[in-house]
Amino acid sequence: MAPRISDEAKEERRLTLLDAALECFSVKGYYASTVDDIVSYSKLSKGSFYNYFESKEDIFINLLQLNKEETLQMLQTNLDKLNSPIEKLKYWINSDIPYDLKKKKMMRTHIEFWLYSTDSPDVQHILKDRFDVMFAMTKEIIAQGQQAGEFKQDIDPEKASAMFWALHDGIWLHVTIGYDEEKVEERIKEMEAAMLAYLT
């Protein structure tokens, strides 16, 4: 009989495979990557892969869901520590500084999610749900800023939130063409200045 492994060890293996998938997708892209590539990155067996995931698409979706949960939890925790809506917005804009290697890998993979969503209703649903939640959060911060007298009263929170995400996602699309850390951080600061000029 094969030895039983603890729940902690099982979770560690699952996370190892997810880390390997992130590495693989960020380097090769979703379509060019294979299960064998992920297994090779993970240093685990192919059998281990299929103990946790049904397919390449399944691990792709699990990686997206994990990122969604971690991102929202961390963001909400840090925003809750701030009282001023303007400080919340500034924190959110600057939360990608420093622009490190892990963020670069995740953004490349996230753009793969965007591309793949045209072929996968499941991925499209996850992305839309994530975007709707984050859009609503930015819209609420802007509305709170108006109530607190920090933002202009004649600003439409819906349109301002759309502007926020157009600028944010535009920066990250440009990341994929090779912006270095200094240039990305410069663009983020420009986004902060543009949003504050618009809102205050």
**Residue 123 structural domain:** 56-199
Q: What is the pLDDT of residues 72-88, one digit of tens each?
A: 899 999 999 999 999 99
Global pTM? 0.85
- Determine phi and psi for 55, rounding to 5 degrees: -165, 175
Same domain, yes or no: 80 and 157 = yes
Tally of structural domains, the chain: 2
Q: What is the pLDDT of residues 94-126, one digit of tens each?
A: 988 877 777 788 888 888 888 888 888 888 888
User: What is the CATH classification number for the domain harbouring 84?
Assistant: 1.10.357.10
Is the bond into 157 cis (omega within 30 degrees of 0)?
A: no
Sign, Cα dihedral of 164, 101, 121, 48: negative
**Cβ density class 159-198: b for 16+ within 10 Å, e for less:** ebbebbeebbeebbeebeeebeeeebbebbeebbeebeee
Q: What is the pLDDT of residues 11-20, one digit of tens each?
A: 999 999 999 9
Same domain, yes or no: 68 and 132 = yes
When pLDDT is cut at 50, 70 and 90, the band that residue 1 belongs to is very low
Q: What is the pLDDT of residues 43-75, one digit of tens each?
A: 999 999 999 999 999 999 999 888 888 888 999
Same domain, yes or no: 85 and 42 = no
